[in-house]
Amino acid sequence: MKIRPYGDTLNDGATQVSFTLPIELSAKAIQAAKELAKKMGLINPSVVHSEKIGKNFSFFIIYGALNANVDIDKIKVTEIKKTSKSQKEIEEMIKTNFERELIFVGASTGTDAHTVGIDAIMNMKGFDGHYGLERYQGIKAYNLGSQVNNEDFIKIARDKKADVLLVSQTVTQKDVHLKNLVELVELLESENLRDKVILIAGGARINHELAKELGYDAGFGPGNYAEDVALFAIEELIKRKEG
């Protein structure tokens, strides 16, 4: 089935784009934004908003129509299915399959100072009615907070004898999150720890497919909760134990 963007009428291609140009706001700047939109493939683009956002910088919002479409049936992606298990069911899985607490160590690593994501997964109160891993029986969760460099993260993980490592990345300018995530994998491999832990990445720009490409066991983006992360990690630990 082929689909294209939808606005007022099905498949009308209605599209909105926004961007910043390094130029003072003027009639010429507005026309430049419109010409760029045409080169993006928008039909009859219209600049519906423009404003100065600093010296020699202007911001634009443009409406137009996109003639391109995609065949949704030909798109293949790797994703993790959402869990249907409750916290109690996951706790029972741990009790049935392990004779000890499972150790989860998490942090916002590198220069990333944001903790909303890692807190939502790990802190006892959780997020949006979903309790965090600190509340789970059978899990010992260590939330190291933000700006934890990869070397320190690995040292603490080793000291705690971690089963699962959770890495949150929010800052993505110039792909700094990708460089940091790759560095962590390389350091774990050099320490002969990579195959001894379940390694999970999370963040607004993270998905399962990207995480796998970077050498992680899983990636969780927006809309996932502690039970999703916990279930994946525990099922993987059970597989490794049985294997």
Task: Report pLDDT digits (tens) over 141-198.
Answer: 999 999 999 999 999 999 999 999 999 988 777 788 899 999 999 999 999 999 999 9
Residues 110 and 221 in one domain: yes
The domain that contains 125 carries what CATH number? 3.40.50.280
User: Which residue has tokens 């004779």?
Assistant: 99
Q: Which residues of the chain have pLDDT under 50?
A: none
Active site residues: 125
47 contact partners, CB below 8 Å, separation of at least 6:
30, 33, 34, 60, 61, 62
The phi and psi torsions of 123 (rounded to 5 degrees) equal -60, 150
**How far from 101 is each of 85, 95, 161, 206, CA to CA, in Å?**
19, 9, 11, 28
Q: Are residues 142 and 194 in the same domain?
A: yes
List CB contacts of 23: < 8 A, sequence separation 6 or more.
Answer: 29, 32, 56, 57, 58
Q: Do residues 108 and 22 share a domain? A: no
Q: CA–CA separation, 26 vs 45, rounded Å? A: 17
The answer to the question of residue 190 being in a domain is: yes
Is 144 a domain residue? yes
Domain that holds residue 61: 2-71
pLDDT at 83: 67
Q: What ranges in the chain are assigned the alpha helix state H?
A: 27-39, 87-97, 116-122, 150-160, 176-190, 208-214, 226-242
- Domain tally for the chain? 2
Which residues fall within 8 angstroms of residue 151, CB to CB, at 6 or more apart? 187
CATH number of the domain that residue 47 is part of: 3.30.30.60
Q: What pLDDT does residue 205 have? A: 87
Residues 123 and 53 grouped into a single domain: no
Shared domain for 55 and 129, answered yes or no, is no
